[in-house]
Chains A and B, each alone.
Chain A
Amino acid sequence: MSDKLSSNKKGSVLVVGGGIGGMQASLDLADSGFKVHMVQKEPSIGGTMVMLDKTFPTGDCSMCMISPKMVEVGRHLNVDIHTLAEVVSVEGEEGNFRAKIRLAPRYVDPAKCTGCGECEAQCPKKVPSEFDQQLGNRKSIYALFPQAVPNTRAIDDRYCLFLTSRKKGAKKDVCKKCEKACKAGAINYDDKGQEIEVNVGSIILAPGLDRYNAKVRGELGLGRWPNVVTSLQFERILSASGPFKGEVKRPSDDKHPKKVAWIQCVGSRDPHNANPWCSSVCCMYATKQSIIAKEHDKHIEPAIFYMDMRAFGKDFDKYVERAKNEYGVRYQRAMVSAIREDPGSGDLVLRYAAEDGSLIDETFEMVVLSIGFEPHKDAAEFAKTFGIEPNVYKFAKTSPLNPVETTRKGVFVTGTYQGPKDIPDTVMQGSAVAGEAMALLSEARGTETIKKELPPEKEVLGEEPRIGVLVCHCGINIASTVQVEQVVEAVKDLPGVVYATNTLYACSQDTQETIKQLVKEKNLNRLVVASCTPRTHEPLFQETIRDAGLNKYLFDLADIREQCSWCHMGHKEEATKKAIRIVKMAIAKSRLQEPIKTDTVGVTPACLIIGGGIAGMTAALSLADQGFQVSIVEKENELGGLVRNLYRTLEGNDVREFLASRIGQVRSHPKIKVFTGTEVRNTDGFVGNFKTTLTDGTEISHGAIILTTGGIEYEPTEYLYKESDRVVTQRELEKKIAAAEVQAGNRYVMIQCVGSREEPNQYCSRICCQDAVKNAIAIKEKDPSAQVFILYRDIRTYGLREDYYKKARELGVIFVRYDVNRKPEVAQSGNGMSVKTWDYMLNRELNIGADWVVLSAGFRPHPTTEKVGALYKVTRNPDGYFLEAHVKLRPVDFPSEGIFVAGLAHAPKNLDETITQALASAGRAGVVLSHDRLAISGIIAKHRKDLCMSCLSCFRVCPFDSPYIGEDGKVAHNEVKCHGCGICAAICPAKAFQVNNFRDDQILAMIDVAVECDTSVAGG
């Protein structure tokens, strides 16, 4: 039976949703031998992240990060994107589903459309832009945003003048301007859409989120007072490509506001007319927005009105501290009860209660509502379509121990549909679901993917350059500004050029055929296309000349659209001159181009995991189920790590049973070897080919490494810990509760943030608030006569965990806030303890007698982290946790390929988050290990030993550790690790490094041509 089942398994996966989570899952799967069908409701992929201006806590540009990923998804041979599409039904079971997808009519034929956008320019119908959150307009034929993927425009039939009038039965044709504008003939008003069926092995749900409609809370004035905007509108205001071009202005009068207020928890943490959960991200995005606003306009005075500052993520607290101290952001702990507009001025008067209870009216010039997340409006219907159970709030139902599995086998969930979360957690879940699908469908890997057959490459080395030049009109995008014929004329007789011509659309399918013919007929050995940006179009033309038998690096693209015609409109003569110059530069480089042979290296399909805690074991099981050999190295004599001290999760799951079963699975899995009481002695190698020797002398060959070295609990030195047996940690209390050692009627005082959020450990340990709430609930449920006080700084029960905070309050747990400058004082008093603290609600000191003082002790990285980090040359953040390759989009990778991280070694996190990250690391490692051979990129630095003096300059500057000391004691270069950035080439005094296709002779040739004098004046 199992054989039959396995033979039916499909090697493809349906990914529902094209946001960052769905994109990550799709890329991981498609890069590791699975066919992906991506279904996206909107006309472009991208989701919510594309609308954001910057991201916290690094201030990176959101679009700059996600746009290359979108291009990668869009161009991937094994990802089929279905936009304007919805899944209407799903049948079948794990390993073999059949899904029906309905594609709405686009009215533009993607096969013909070149994405030039001329139709959009001609369309007379303006529609409020969803992308700009109604602050700007788009056309009725539109791309969701300029970088949209696919960039085929779509006609919105709700607004199109022709389609709406035809629907009303108009006799005469109205408008049709887009059809007239489209030189490619791509407009099809008779598009009816279609329904398709796909047969897949697994389904990944990544539909993303909706945002709370803040108009429901009329007292805040959204939609009534124009200078009250939502946080997403403010993102668009901040965006340089947004409706205000990045200028912070008020919508009512374009005035630059000085005092700007953010109001937190709009639609969150509020069961009345809103959502009871915490949206997890608003505290941080408000902090980010206030910082960025201040950077855009230094006169702005930001104020954030909040209940608890939930900066629980990695380096978040430091970010908030910076906002306070360096940017002067004011954090006001208060709920705003109402906003009214000051008639005439457009200013807004906020009413709130100050800390001492007095009511204050304060005037601001602009107000931003930090609106929360919620599931899509049609979430209930969505769950029904896929046959999964939703939870009470209509998020997908999952368990903390299986955080990305839905109730239907083979259907996984990622991102905000699983619960509110930020970008890195979404990306992590994206890789985690990919890992789950890889494990489920491992035997079908590679059965449905396409590989391209290519003709042999023509030998051109030593031949004189024979360059073909193609100058593109891009409809009228280039040709209306640049005199294309003049460009052709100016370059056709340059040395090396044997043929030059112009074309209407260089990127169209028939031009690709023309190019192949030209290469043959004119015996070309180089090609230069002058059209748009190489960032999106270089791969297309490279593929074309490769199909024609030329090495793909014998191509160069001259960008005369984005960097010439589009920014010099109305300056025909100058633009044409510049275009000629740009094309001449490309030709100068092309002359010096050489074919580049790309190498491949073999991959050992095995993984080494350092650390046998829950993260290590989870990753090991996932990889072993994917079919790879796994070795776990654990320093201690038994598996389990910190989780051994845990009894129950906040949600009530039995952790001990879970741990025992996981250890059992690991121990009995034929593909997993466990080395306990062992450490790594030394290690060598690079992605795909590592060699490690353990302290017991065992040698292991492996292709990937996952570091799950874990953390330890801080051992308090404050609050009389160790001095009195009445002072315990949460962990010790949990043990007492589990052993039923708690006495009836006792009084507990819990103190939060012990060893966290204070210099030198200025970070939140993330789990302590929930731990305190968990233990408090357990005590009160067992014994309602017990009294529990929790002394806290901010309660950080983020996401759906907010329910338990509420439950604790309902059970009578008393929460008292303290300030870090006025910490509680613990003293012995008779048989018990007494705790003195200031109560900000009562405005007086409290003296609480206690039977137990319970300390919520924070996390520290495991002491071995430093050693392991040095061994693998991976960096750590100032707090000692491993630093991932990118805090947003590569949360489990290291800059060095083939090495991954999961669990507490990365940052403090919950059990479910640790499991997710472990699955993600297994997914990422699976991508590497699934290849028989890894291709080395062509654009890498080449090292010439004969020129090298081994001065070690390169050695010091390379971010990827690719130069190394060879056996002869001289510098050698590992090309597998090289990313081709060329920092080595710039610093090398002997010029022993040259980057392929960016060689110094090529760059100098381009400079010479770029600077050749146009006029007698310029050159002097």
Chain B
Amino acid sequence: MDKLAESAEQRSPGSHGLAGAESERSSIEKPREIPQDWEPNILAFACHYCAFAAADLAGVMRLSYPPNVKVVRLPCTGKLDYIHVLRAFERGVDGVFAAG
């Protein structure tokens, strides 16, 4: 947490030279510094028939990718609702990947 606090300080509005607009933003919207060892936490929404099958095939072919992606299976990408995406971001996910 110290690291984060430090980085938030470093990126305080003034240091950007964009003082006007930036300083009026609430503290929630302040972009955070990205620590060096940081890995994004990604949530994928995948269609059962295509993208989920592709994720399976990647395994069958032993293709390697970072483990910080979790897949939620949907019956169709058309089922993906904005509430799902919003909830994911609300809970702190760093990226949403919709594939289908």
Asked whether A and B interact, the reply is yes
Question: Which A residues lie at the B interface, using CB under 8 A?
Answer: 64, 67-68, 146-147, 241, 533-535, 559, 561-569, 571, 574-575, 577-578, 581-582, 585, 939, 957, 980-983, 985-986, 995, 998, 1000, 1003-1004, 1006-1008, 1010-1014, 1016-1020
A578 touches B70 (CB 8 A): yes
Q: Are A1008 and B56 in contact (CB under 8 A)?
A: no
Interface flag for B67 (CB, 8 Å): yes
Q: With A567-B64, A986-B79 as known contacts, state yes or no: A1006 contacts B58, CB within 8 Å.
A: no
Contacts of A67 in B (CB 8 A): 53
Residue of A nearest to B91 (CB): A1011
Asked if B92 and A1013 make an inter-chain contact with CB atoms under 8 angstroms apart, the answer reads: yes
10 smallest CB-CB distances across A and B, nearest first, come from: A982-B79, A562-B59, A983-B78, A566-B59, A981-B76, A1011-B91, A562-B56, A574-B67, A146-B60, A1010-B70
Most chain B beta-carbon neighbours within 10 Å: one of A67, A565, A982, A1000: A982
- Asked if residues B43 and A567 are in contact (CB atoms below 8 Å), the reply is no
From residue 66 to 82 of chain B, which have CB atoms closer than 8 A to chain A? Answer: 67-68, 70-76, 78-81
Cβ B60 vs Cβ A562 within 8 A: yes
Distance in angstroms from A115 CB to nearest chain B CB is: 11
Q: Are A562 and B41 in contact (CB under 8 A)?
A: no
List the A residue with the shortest CB-CB distance to B93: A1011
Chain A min CB distance to B74 (Å): 6
Cα distance A1003–B76 in the bound complex, in angstroms: 13
Task: Show 16 A/B contacts (Cβ-Cβ < 8 Å), sorted by A.
Answer: A64-B53, A146-B57, A241-B57, A533-B59, A562-B58, A565-B59, A567-B63, A567-B64, A585-B72, A983-B78, A1000-B81, A1007-B72, A1011-B43, A1011-B91, A1011-B93, A1013-B41
A533 & B56 in contact (Cβ 8 Å cutoff):
yes
Interface SS of chain A: helix, strand, loop or mixed?
A: helix
Closest chain A CB from B55 CB (angstroms): 5
Q: Which residues of B contact A983 (CB under 8 A)?
A: 76, 78-79
B81–A985 contact, CB under 8 A?
A: yes
Does B20 sit within 8 A of A, measured CB to CB?
no
Residues 39-62 of chain B, each 1 if its beta carbon lies under 8 Å from chain A, else 0: 101010000111011011111111
Which of B50, B65, B87 has the largest number of chain A CB atoms within 10 A? B87
Indicate if the CB atoms of A1020 and B56 lie closer than 8 Å: no
Residues from chain B with a CB closer than 8 A to the CB of A982 are: 74-76, 78-79
Whether, in the assembled complex, B94 has its beta carbon less than 8 Å from a beta carbon of chain A, the answer is yes
Number of chain B interface residues as a range: 35 or more
Q: Tell me, yes or no, whether B11 is within 8 Å of chain A by CB.
A: no
Q: Which among B39, B79, B80, B84 has the highest number of chain A CB atoms within 10 Å? A: B79
Which of A535, A1004, A1017, A1019 interacts with B56 by CB under 8 Å?
A: A535
A566 and B56 alpha carbons, distance in the complex (Å): 9
Contact of B52 (CB < 8 Å), options: A241, A535, A568, A1019: A535
Cα A561 to Cα B94 in complex, Å, equals: 25
Chain A residue nearest in CB terms to B58? A567
**Chain B nearest CB, measured from A101 CB (Å):** 31
B79 engages A998 (CB within 8 Å): yes
Task: Let me know if B91 and A1008 touch, CB within 8 A.
Answer: yes
Which chain B residues lie closer than 8 Å to A981 at the CB level?
75-76, 78-79
Q: How far is the CA of A1018 from the CA of B58 in the complex (A)?
A: 25
The reply to whether B55 and A582 form a contact with Cβ atoms under 8 Å apart is no
Task: State whether A1000 touches B78 (Cβ < 8 A).
Answer: no
Which of B4, B67, B75 contacts A571, CB < 8 Å? B67
Q: How far is the CB of A813 from chain B (nearest CB, A)?
A: 50
List A contacts of B62 (CB < 8 A): 566-567, 569
Q: Please determine whether B83 and A1000 come into contact, CB atoms closer than 8 angstroms.
A: yes
By a CB distance below 8 angstroms, the chain A residues around B93 are 1010-1011
Known: A241-B61, A567-B63, A983-B79. A1010 touches B72 (CB 8 A): yes
State how many angstroms separate the Cβ of A439 from the closest Cβ of chain B.
33
Contact partners of A563 in chain B: CB under 8 A: 55-56, 58-59, 71
* Chain B residues whose CB sits within 8 angstroms of the CB of A957 once the complex forms: 78
- Shortest Cβ gap from B48 to chain A (Å): 7
**CB neighbours of B41 from chain A (8 A):** 1011, 1013-1014, 1018-1019
**B17 CB–A CB distance under 8 Å:** no
Known A-B contacts: A559-B56, A563-B58, A995-B75. Give 15 more (CB < 8 A).
A535-B52, A562-B59, A569-B64, A575-B67, A981-B79, A986-B78, A1006-B72, A1007-B72, A1008-B87, A1011-B41, A1016-B1, A1017-B3, A1017-B35, A1018-B39, A1020-B4
Q: Which residues of B contact A561 (CB under 8 A)?
A: 59
Contact B55 A1018 (CB under 8 A): no
Minimum CB–CB distance for B16 against chain A, Å: 20
Nearest A-chain residue to B78, judged by Cβ: A983
Q: Give chain A residues whose Cβ lies under 8 Å from the Cβ of B67.
A: 564, 568, 571, 574-575, 577-578
Q: How far is the CA of A533 from the CA of B43 in the complex (A)?
A: 18
State whether A1011 and B92 are in contact (beta carbons under 8 Å apart), knowing that A569-B64, A986-B78, A1000-B83 are contacts in the complex. yes
Which residues on A sit within 8 Å (CB–CB) of B35? 1017
Nearest Cβ on chain B to A885's Cβ, whole angstroms: 14
Q: What's the nearest-Cβ distance from chain B to residue A941, in Å?
A: 9
Known contacts A534-B73, A563-B71, A569-B64, A1007 near B92 by CB under 8 Å: no
Given A563-B59, A1011-B41, decide whether A1020 and B70 contact each other with a Cβ distance below 8 A.
no
Task: Tell me which residues across on chain A come within 8 A of B74, comparing CB atoms.
Answer: 982, 998, 1003
Q: How far is the CB of B21 from chain A (nearest CB, A)?
A: 23
Cα–Cα distance between A565 and B58 once the two chains are bound (Å): 11
Whole-angstrom CA separation of A273 from B83 in the bound complex: 65
Q: Specify which chain A residues have a CB less than 8 angstroms from the CB of B58 in the assembled complex.
A: 562-563, 567
Q: Cβ of A1016: which chain B residues have Cβ within 8 Å of it? A: 1, 4
How far, in angstroms, from A980 to B49 measured CA to CA in the complex? 12
Min Cβ gap A555→B in Å is: 14
Residues of chain A lying within 8 A (CB to CB) of residue B52: 533, 535
Query: Is B55's CB under 8 angstroms from A562's CB?
Result: yes
Residues of chain B within 8 A of A1003, CB atoms compared: 72, 74, 81, 84
B-side contacts of A1010, CB under 8 Å: 43, 70, 72, 88, 93
> Which residue of A is nearest B43, CB measured?
A1010
In the complex the two chains form, what is the Cα distance from A790 to B63 in whole Å?
56
Q: Does the CB pair B38–A1017 fall under 8 Å?
A: yes
A995 to B76, CA, bound (A): 11
B82, closest chain A residue (CB): A986
Q: Which of B32, B37, B67, B88 has most A Cβ within 10 Å?
A: B67
Contact with A along B14-46 (1 / 0, CB 8 A): 000000000000000000100101110101000
Distance between Cα atoms of A241 and B54 in the complex (Å): 11
Q: Report yes or no: A1004 in contact with B87, Cβ–Cβ below 8 A.
A: yes
Chain B proximity of A920: nearest CB distance (Å): 24
Closest beta carbon of chain A to B46's beta carbon, Å: 10
How many Å lie between the Cα of A1017 and that of B40 in the bound state? 9
Residue of B nearest to A577 (CB): B67
- The CA-CA distance from A289 to B59 in the complex, in Å, is 26
A581 surroundings in chain B (CB, below 8 A): 70
With a cutoff of 8 Å between Cβ atoms, the chain B residues found around residue A559 in the complex are 56, 71
Instruction: Indicate if the CB atoms of A1004 and B83 lie closer than 8 Å.
Output: yes
In Å, the complex CA distance between A155 and B93 comes to 47
Separation in Å of the B71 CB from the closest CB of chain A? 6
> Which residues of B sit under 8 angstroms from A998, Cβ to Cβ?
74-75, 79
B44 to chain A, nearest CB (A): 9
Q: A1020 touching B92 by the CB < 8 A rule?
A: yes
Alpha-carbon distance A1003/B84, docked complex (angstroms): 7
- Across-interface contacts of B3 in A (CB, < 8 A): 1017
Closest to B1 in A: A1016
CB distance from B67 to the nearest CB of A (A): 4
Interface centre among A534, A577, A581, A1018 (most CB of B within 10 A): A1018
In the complex, the answer to whether B48 meets A582 with C-beta atoms within 8 Å is no
CA distance A535 to B56 in the complex (A): 9
- Of A574, A1011, A1014, which one neighbours B88 at CB under 8 angstroms? A1011
Contacts of A939 in B (CB 8 A): 75
The answer to whether residues A64 and B50 also contact, given A567-B64, A1007-B84, A1018-B39 and a CB cut-off of 8 A, is yes
A1003 CA to B57 CA, complexed, in Å = 24
Residue of A nearest to B50 (CB): A64
Residue of B nearest to A986 (CB): B81
